[in-house]
Structures are given as structure tokens and as C-alpha cells.
Chains A and B, each alone.
Chain A
């Protein structure tokens, strides 16, 4: 029954997308609201709750990520209502976009709630392939080229993930049999595995695949290129849902590896994340359009989440994760309006709004721009404080306290470069350039308000308590 309600919104969206009548097709954005039903049902279940035998699991972590992804899906589908007013898109392509959005959603629901490495991979691959066509909906030669690029880069990344999963499975199969694919079984029996070395190799390879998918160094340019070439809802979906699904995989895999070799895990992820933030900080400094700016910023945040998670700052990582999942899609969705006078018109982008809708728009987008660089009371401000605190706490138990303080200081310098760039852009958007009239539509405002309220709800004591209980 729950499975039916879980998959219903995506299946309904898929079916309705074939309808050619405008009146019924207009229902498409509202279909996504039905995802609220399974969300309510899942929160009422006792944790952990198994679905489809042992293949899917509803635990606190999965439920949180699923809720965040559902809110983003609702926001994106609402903003999609006015896509044709900002970009040149045909009705047929519009319906196709929804069709592949539905398939993408199906894949990600499977991945997010998966308790099986194989099912997780299948869902992720399915979602990845669906997004290829969503990029292609923009009928330009650049989008066409980038859709192929995405297909090739991502299939390599996803194949690397599968390679790692096979090694992990091979290491645990003698002990667990077919259950060696099961995240919970692996977590319970990891210390009994006779080949932890093989398990670690598998984990390292899987992580590299996931980090390629997240656009981390050295594969840090493809994501921005692809997001730039697509229509703006695609990067919103990438940053809010696809990256969340990849991240939950990283959380689940690393939770197991932490049991056998914490030091190597930390060293590996720390170096990877550190290098990524180092490179991305300068790329953000040089970014000349909104989509690239937000895309690189997304990579930076993914690196921070991974770093906080492996440092033992589970709460910080999850808070940062939730805040990023609400903020970044909102910013990507707002680019439809911000770039309505040309993609390089950053100066004055927050000027020229009239009426209540316009005022709400510039106010929310202004707040989001500052919130993404952790200006308090953004949840990111708190998550970074708790995250860096967790790193210091971890260093207390080692002989590397000074090195950790130096590393954090260096990270803060890099983050301040990003902060400087964002605040400079905000000032030029608000006070620079010329005042040109821009049109904002109700559905966009509603989408932004939903995401802003969700972001604010993260700061409630109850939400914080829930996130703490996950760790």
C-alpha cells in the first residue's frame, strides 16, 4: 500500500504527460503534491520499516532525505508552470520534460529509500539516464552536445560506482551470501568480514564514482557546463534531488566503512573535499553568470557536507544538506527571472520589480543569496559552526590538533573568498546596473515561499532534535 502511494505521483505524472489536451496537461504541476500523502504515512511508521521485503527501508535518514526531495520536487514542478514564459519551449517538449521528470523521480525514490546497494545503483542509473533527455529539451546545439557529454561522463561515473559495489559485494558474500548487498546487514557484520581490504577498495572506488557525479575535483567542470546548457529547472533538480540521492549513498557506505577504518576514510575524504573547495573557491570568484556561480557553489557545499559527515558531525552534515537542498534549487529557479534580460546581466538583476510579487521575489532571492554564504540566521551558519566544531572534537583524540586548526583556518579563508564574491554580486544586483522591468509569476513566488518556509522550519528545535537523533 505504501509502495503504491510512494510511486503514485511519479506514475500519475508520467501518464498525464501523454495527454495532449491542454486542460488536463495543466494538472501536471499539481500531481507532484500527492507526494505529501506517502510522506505523512512514512513519518507515522515505526523506524526502521522495511518495504518490498528487505530491499527498501524507511529509517530516519531515508525519511529525512525523502521529505527534502519531495519538497524540492513540489517547488520545481510549480516553477515549471511558467517555464515557457521565460524560455522558448514547445508544448510537446514541455510534456516530455514532465515525462522524464517522472522517470527521474521514480529512480530517485528507489535510491533514497534503498537498503540494497544494487537497487540503489539501479535507481541512480535510471535517474541519470532520465536527466539526459531533460537536458536535451533545450533545442540548441550546445545542449545537444552537453547531453551527450553528460551521458558519457555519468555512465563512466555510475560504472565506477558499480565496480566498487561489486568489490564490496565480493568481499562480504562469503559471510552474508545474497545479503551482502544489504546496507543494514553489512553494517551489522562489517567487523566479521574477512576481507576488509577488499571492502575498503570497493568503498574508495564507489566514492570516487559518487564524487565524480557530484562534480568534485578533478571532474569539477562538467557539471557547470551541463547546467548552463540546460533550462533552469534541470540544475534545480540536480542540486535538490539528484545530489541528495548521491549523498545519501555516500552516507550509507561511509557509515559502514567508519566501523573498520575511520582514519583512512577521513584522510581520503578530507583531501578530496579540501582540494575541491580550494579549486571551486577560485572558480566561483571567476564565475560570470548565475548558473555557473550556483553550480560551483553547489560543489563547494557537497564537499563541506562530506567533510562534516566523516568528521563525525552528522548533525552538521544533515543540517547543511537540508539547507543546501532547499536553497540551491530556489536560486536556480529564480534564474529564470534573474536572467530574463540576458545571462550575463548580473548587475541590476534584483532591480526593476514592481508590485507585491516583484517585491517578494527580490526580497526572498536576496535572502537566499546571503543565506547560501552562511549569513546568520541561515541554517548553513549553524551547520558550519557545528561542522568545524566536530572537526576540532575529532582532532582532540589525535595528535594532529594544530594541523586541524590550520586546515580549518585555510578552509575559512577559502570560504571567505566565496563569501566576498557572493556579497559583491548581491550588491551589484541590488545597487548596480540599470533598472529594467522584469516579470514575476505567481507560481514562481509560491515555489520560492514553499522552499523558504521549509528552510526556516529546519531551524525549529523539533527539526534540530530530529536531525540529532539520526546520528
Chain B
């Protein structure tokens, strides 16, 4: 089950890179967060870690429900441009994405050997980091960059789950709080100028 969820996590991230519409990107962020939340809950149940189950539940509520809703609300309120064509053309992305995946499997190999975790999970977590950076770089508009940054946080959370079976609860809560703060700041940045990003 965890392999299935990690696979879907990666798949949603790859689709996000090809997406040229803002609402569709928000949808893929929602699916990405959903997979991550379910994965945390699933691993938490498997290793009997209540803190990880709570983190997964918070991820589901915050990242899979509240943040996508707020993002869509903000994009409507501030009339954000919905056509977000990526700067990297599709035929280059088709080559670039597998290259990143293969490259990260190669560089993550020595790390994976040291950890007791599944090597594939670590590699996918690290490749997700690179893919989110691509997502942030390939757009000129602010909105997809914000989603890229939120997905980057998802990728880090995935690495935390797969490499360490979750970080201490207080730290996880702090990270969630920071994400909420980021959303407030993003709202204020849009609000105080009415700039169409």
C-alpha cells in the first residue's frame, strides 16, 4: 500500500510539471497532499506511531483540504491569471523528468544503504525535491511558484516519513504552523496591492 501511495505522490508531482492551468495545478496539489497524508497515516499504523498518525491526519486536513480551498479562493478573489504555461517545453520535460529520476536513484544509493528504510522511497523523496524545484523554476507567475513551494514542503515531509519514520511531534506541529503563517503572508501580499500575479 505504501508503495502505491508513494507512486501516486510522484505521479501527481510529474503531472503538475506539465500542467498549464492554475486550477488544475491546485487540484494536483490536493491529490499530492492527499497521498502524503494517507501515507503518513498508513506508515503510522504500520509502525504503531501515534505521532505520525496525528501528523498524517493534520496533513489531510491542512494540506489536502484547507490550503487547496484557500488557494482557489485567493486566485478567484484576486483574479489570478489561470493560464500558466510552463517555460520548459513539454518535449524537454519528457526527457528531463526521467533524467532527474534516474539521477536521484543513482545519487541516493549510498544514502539508502545506510538507512533501514526502503531505498526506493528515499530516492523518490529526493527526486520529488528536484521536481518541485523544476515546478518553481518553470513558471513566471507567482501562483504556481507558491504551489511549488508548498509541494516542496510535501516532498520534505515525505523524506521525513520515509527516512526517519517521522520527526518529533513538536517539530511537525511547528512546520504546520509555519505553513499556515505562509498562507497568511501570501494573502497579505496579494491583498495590499491587488497586483494581478
Q: B189 and A133: CB pair below 8 A? A: yes
Question: B188: which of A133, A139, A174, A195 is its contact (CB, 8 Å)?
Answer: A133
The residues in B between 150 and 197 inclusive whose CB is less than 8 angstroms from any CB of A are 152-153, 156, 159-160, 163-164, 167-168, 170-171, 174-175, 177-178, 181-182, 185-186, 188-189, 192-193, 195, 197
| Residue A28 at the chain B interface, CB threshold 8 Å | no
Q: B152 and A159: CB pair below 8 A? A: yes
A-side contacts of B82, CB under 8 Å: none
Question: A156: which of B136, B159, B182 is its contact (CB, 8 Å)?
Answer: B136
| Residue B20 at the chain A interface, CB threshold 8 Å | no
A-side contacts of B193, CB under 8 Å: 139, 144
Instruction: From known contacts A148-B189, A166-B163, infer whether A181 and B168 are also in contact, taking CB-CB under 8 Å.
Output: yes
Q: B145 and A181: CB pair below 8 A? A: no
Q: B167 and A166: CB pair below 8 A? A: yes
| Residue B11 at the chain A interface, CB threshold 8 Å | no
Q: A116 and B171: CB pair below 8 A? A: yes
Interface string of B93-124 (1 = CB under 8 A from A): 00000000000000000110011100000000
Q: A118 and B174: CB pair below 8 A? A: yes
Interface string of A418-447 (1 = CB under 8 A from B): 000000000000000000000000000000
| Residue A167 at the chain B interface, CB threshold 8 Å | yes
| Residue A367 at the chain B interface, CB threshold 8 Å | no
Which residue of chain A has the shortest Cβ distance to B163 in the bound complex? A170
Question: B181: which of A126, A169, A178 is its contact (CB, 8 Å)?
Answer: A126
Which residue of chain B has the shortest Cβ distance to A177 in the bound complex? B168
The total of interchain contacts (Cβ-Cβ below 8 angstroms) comes to 104
A-side contacts of B195, CB under 8 Å: 141, 144
Q: A181 and B167: CB pair below 8 A? A: yes
Which residue of chain B has the shortest Cβ distance to A162 in the bound complex? B156
| Residue B57 at the chain A interface, CB threshold 8 Å | no
B-side contacts of A152, CB under 8 Å: 136, 145, 149
Assembled-state Cα–Cα distance A119/B168 (Å): 10
Question: B163: which of A147, A156, A167, A197 is its contact (CB, 8 Å)?
Answer: A167
Q: A166 and B171: CB pair below 8 A? A: no
A-side contacts of B167, CB under 8 Å: 118, 166, 169, 181
| Residue B133 at the chain A interface, CB threshold 8 Å | yes
Assembled-state Cα–Cα distance A133/B181 (Å): 11
Least Cβ distance of A17 to chain B in Å? 14
Which residue of chain B has the shortest Cβ distance to A93 in the bound complex? B192
| Residue B129 at the chain A interface, CB threshold 8 Å | yes
Least Cβ distance of B184 to chain A in Å? 8
Assembled-state Cα–Cα distance A167/B153 (Å): 15
| Residue B142 at the chain A interface, CB threshold 8 Å | yes
B-side contacts of A139, CB under 8 Å: 192-193
A-side contacts of B168, CB under 8 Å: 116, 118, 178, 181
Interface string of A244-277 (1 = CB under 8 A from B): 0000000000000000000000000000000000
Assembled-state Cα–Cα distance A139/B192 (Å): 8
Q: B181 and A129: CB pair below 8 A? A: yes
Assembled-state Cα–Cα distance A293/B159 (Å): 40
Which residue of chain B has the shortest Cβ distance to A169 in the bound complex? B164
Q: Which of B136, B163, B185, B197 has the most A CB atoms < 10 Å from its CB?
A: B185
Instruction: From known contacts A122-B175, A136-B189, A136-B192, infer whether A159 and B145 are also in contact, taking CB-CB under 8 Å.
Output: no
B-side contacts of A191, CB under 8 Å: none
The residues in A between 152 and 181 inclusive whose CB is less than 8 angstroms from any CB of B are 152, 155-156, 159, 162-163, 166-167, 169-171, 173-174, 178, 181
Instruction: From known contacts A125-B178, A181-B168, infer whether A166 and B160 are also in contact, taking CB-CB under 8 Å.
Output: yes
| Residue A132 at the chain B interface, CB threshold 8 Å | yes
Assembled-state Cα–Cα distance A133/B110 (Å): 41
Assembled-state Cα–Cα distance A417/B178 (Å): 42
Question: B171: which of A122, A130, A156 is its contact (CB, 8 Å)?
Answer: A122
A-side contacts of B174, CB under 8 Å: 118-119, 121-122
B-side contacts of A151, CB under 8 Å: 149, 185-186, 189
The residues in A between 163 and 212 inclusive whose CB is less than 8 angstroms from any CB of B are 163, 166-167, 169-171, 173-174, 178, 181, 194-195, 197-198, 201
Q: B156 and A166: CB pair below 8 A? A: yes
Assembled-state Cα–Cα distance A116/B167 (Å): 12
Q: A126 and B178: CB pair below 8 A? A: yes
A-side contacts of B149, CB under 8 Å: 151-152, 155-156, 159
Q: Which of A121, A136, A147, A163 has the most B CB atoms < 10 Å from its CB?
A: A163
| Residue A55 at the chain B interface, CB threshold 8 Å | yes
Q: A156 and B133: CB pair below 8 A? A: yes
Assembled-state Cα–Cα distance A57/B193 (Å): 41
Q: B164 and A129: CB pair below 8 A? A: no
Given contacts A119-B174, A144-B189, 11 further A-B contacts (CB under 8 A): A121-B171, A122-B177, A130-B181, A151-B185, A155-B149, A155-B182, A159-B153, A162-B156, A163-B156, A170-B115, A170-B164
Query: What are 14 pairs between A and B in contact, CB < 8 Å?
Result: A119-B174, A133-B185, A133-B188, A148-B142, A148-B189, A156-B133, A159-B129, A166-B156, A166-B167, A170-B115, A174-B116, A178-B168, A195-B115, A198-B114
